[in-house]
Chains A and B, each alone.
Chain A
């Protein structure tokens, strides 16, 4: 999509300026030291300042030129993120099988018209593969299922 400003670089530059400022200010919590004996704040502070500087170099020229508007694909983006989040929340409490089942089910929504049958078959086979390969094959200590809240 065409836009009157180069929003890609405007957003990118702004994010860098914000992040760099925060990073530089936060590093002041630590000891600066001297040039000879640099403290833990020295290097991060310099990097933070440089990040802000490059954020400006990216942002300012972008204000004066046309560009494109970035268009996120919300559906796959949200579905995949929630699926990974679901795995993270389930795996410690309920074990591998429930986590993989949920991951597969949620990830299916990244497609525009997910197929129920395919997802069920896929979830079951992936859970089986997970247990066979990781728990039994490689001996990675994740229990297949458990119940601890």
Chain B
């Protein structure tokens, strides 16, 4: 079998001492920032992007990916112990995890979320391994028009499926596309929107944009919000042991959660957070006694945990095989690949097999490391929750500033971080989501290139997008999404008006 030979090669690559080390650094940091509220995987990955210039591409991507799925493991810890989610996806774990802790079952909850995470992630990796090469094979026949349509679908899906209002989501994608235009036009060499500032000739620095939007803006918003506290729950090795009933009650929910997560992870724009909320809803629906939820039902934590971990693995499918990132973190991952000179897309699997299969193999290794980090060492993470934020945020700011400076040795980029920090904070105040903006920023230049190429090939005939079946299919789905979003919006507006009328 071809796949097993490839996997064996991948494991050979992933077990290289350097890759093993970076994998460990990645999952360790991921757990760390996942546990701590007020700093997420996204900010951490953007902080470490500059570091990856100094290491080979495979090691760099292995580390960044480790932060991403590692944060999914750690996220539920603070939810369970302090009712404060460490990551957005872990917000669901508060619902039943915190009541479990209040009943003195914090240890069991922590252990079960780790087991559920491992189950979800493992099945997610199997799905990733099986489907990626197939999908990449299909995508090889895509022309520029198909690519353009696919990216359009990805952006619209990301905007409409994400939190908040779909209109605002699309608006943010558009702003991202606009920011992506800054720099030198590839086809004509024309400088666009650079205002004769030499540092802008290569475009706005991705690192500066991401750190401003997700790092600085998040720090500003968290300072008054996060109060660290010592958890009153003592976590001993004995208290971690789940009962046989816990395991039995969780088996099916974990499988259901994995299914939900795997689907939502692979869809562009959905991702881990939506997956965990969806799987919670599913559990509540299939439960014989839905009233137990919110009072410490074990399915309420195991199913969403499996879902968000499965999603964080299958999210790599469109990113690696199509070059279409599903969420902002994946967009950063793509950015890291592009910076390293690797063009993501269907050819990645065949042209850089050592990277592709090495990364997949590293997922297995990383997940085993995470189980070890999260079960025997859980006490360490619990202690970290008592670090006050007033110590953390200056350190976060320092890493942001030095990190961004070191990319080009440019104080101008640090200035950009500040500007985008202001921008991101204003956006957060006005309830605009920053994630679709980052997606638009990364995909913008690629979309423009494919659009121009498609129009050149069709001699200026825009019908080409509807004549090619693949592109027409993508556009049809895009249109359906837009209609659905418009209907949902109108319904929401009407409901709001009715509520306002009732209040008066």
Contact = CB atoms under 8 A, between A and B. Distances in A.
Interface in B432-477: 432, 447-448, 451-452, 455-456, 459-460, 462
Interface in B135-177: 167-168, 170-171, 174-175, 177
A118 B432 CA distance: 35
A80 B402 contact: no
Interface in A31-52: 31, 34-40, 42-44, 47-48, 50-51
B304 to A, nearest CB: 29
Nearest to B168: A58
**In the complex, which of the residues A9, A61, A84 has the most CB atoms of chain B within 10 Å of its own CB atom?**
A84
10 contacts: A11-B430, A35-B460, A48-B178, A54-B174, A65-B493, A73-B221, A76-B223, A84-B400, A84-B417, A88-B418
Given A73-B224, A80-B421, A103-B394, A40 B493 contact: no
A39 B54 CA distance: 37
A90 B480 CA distance: 52
Interface in B405-433: 405-406, 409, 411-412, 414-415, 417-418, 421-422, 425, 429-432
Interface in B379-399: 390-391, 393-395, 397-398
B332 to A, nearest CB: 20
Interface string B18-34: 00000000000000000
B286 interface: no
B223 A140 contact: no
A107 B397 contact: yes
Interface of A: 8-9, 11-12, 16, 19-20, 23, 26-27, 30-31, 34-40, 42-44, 47-48, 50-51, 54-55, 57-58, 61, 65-66, 70-73, 76-77, 80-81, 83-85, 87-89, 91-92, 96, 99-100, 103-104, 107-108, 110-111, 118, 122-123, 126, 129-130, 134, 138, 140-142
B220 interface: yes
A81 B219 CA distance: 11
Contacts of B448: 43
Given A39-B188, A70-B430, A77-B425, 8 more contacts: A12-B431, A27-B181, A54-B170, A66-B500, A71-B429, A76-B219, A84-B417, A142-B406
B116 to A, nearest CB: 35
Contact of A85 (B390, B418, B496): B418
A19 B220 CA distance: 24
A101 to B, nearest CB: 10
B409 A141 contact: yes
Interface of B: 51, 54, 167-168, 170-171, 174-175, 177-178, 181, 185, 187-188, 190, 192-193, 216, 219-221, 223-224, 390-391, 393-395, 397-398, 400-402, 405-406, 409, 411-412, 414-415, 417-418, 421-422, 425, 429-432, 447-448, 451-452, 455-456, 459-460, 462, 493, 496-497, 500
Contacts of A8: 429-431
Contacts of A34: 460
Given A12-B432, A58-B168, A141-B409, A81 B174 contact: no
B455 A54 contact: no
Contact of B223 (A61, A91, A111): A111
A50 B174 contact: yes
B220 A77 contact: yes
B430 A9 contact: yes
B443 to A, nearest CB: 12
A109 to B, nearest CB: 11
Given A47-B174, A130-B398, A38 B452 contact: yes
Nearest to A89: B411
A138 B51 contact: yes
B216 A19 contact: no
A43 B402 contact: no
B185 A84 contact: no
A108 B194 CA distance: 35
Contacts of A107: 393-394, 397
Contacts of B224: 73, 76
Contact of B185 (A40, A88, A138): A40
B53 to A, nearest CB: 10
Contacts of B188: 31, 39-40
A48 B171 CA distance: 11
B177 A84 contact: no
**In the complex, which of the residues A16, A26, A77 has the most CB atoms of chain B within 10 Å of its own CB atom?**
A77
A143 B175 CA distance: 37
Given A19-B175, A126-B398, A36 B455 contact: yes
Q: Which 8 A-B pairs have the closest CB atoms?
A: A36-B460, A88-B414, A40-B185, A40-B190, A76-B223, A12-B430, A35-B460, A54-B171
Nearest to B427: A12
Contacts of A38: 451-452, 455
